[in-house]
Amino acid sequence: MIFILLFSILLVDQLSKYTFNRVLYLNQSLPVIKGIFHLTLVHNRGAAFGVLKDKVPLFIITSLIAAVLIWLALSKCNKTPQDKICRVALILILAGGIGNLIDRIALGYVVDFLDFRIWPVFNLADSAITIGAILLGYVILKSSGGN
């Protein structure tokens, strides 16, 4: 299951980025729901929200280290039913990180295209990372006795 979920997320992420990088011009925006949701092509040369612009080697190194640490952490999530959520969370984070890492290595930037107008433009890999982080936070709070 780990590999199926990981590769499925990677495939959808990379296909969507490839498609929008070919269909839209840089900074072109197509309204899907005018004023609420647009498809806008952005080449993000930084981290989240464009911080640390043009530090590609730093992002590649930290992404590789994070991927190895997440892979190692996956082996520790296998004892309880709650660990299934932990595994899914880590796979989402890993797949999203690898998806953006592929962009940085191949292109020197990350392809973003989902634009809700009230938030910086992002992609499916970013969504996977965010959902994974929320799930992981839930697991951590639950295991520490939080409600």
Residues annotated as part of the active site: 112, 126
Helices and strands, counts by H and E, the chain: 4, 3
Q: Tell me if residue 115 falls in helix, strand or coil.
A: strand
Report the alpha-carbon distance of residue 4 to residue 27 in Å, rounded.
33
Distances (CA, A) of 69 to 7, 16, 63, 73, 88: 18, 27, 10, 6, 15
Angle, alpha carbons 115-119-120 (nearest 5°): 70
CB atoms within 10 A of CB 19: 12
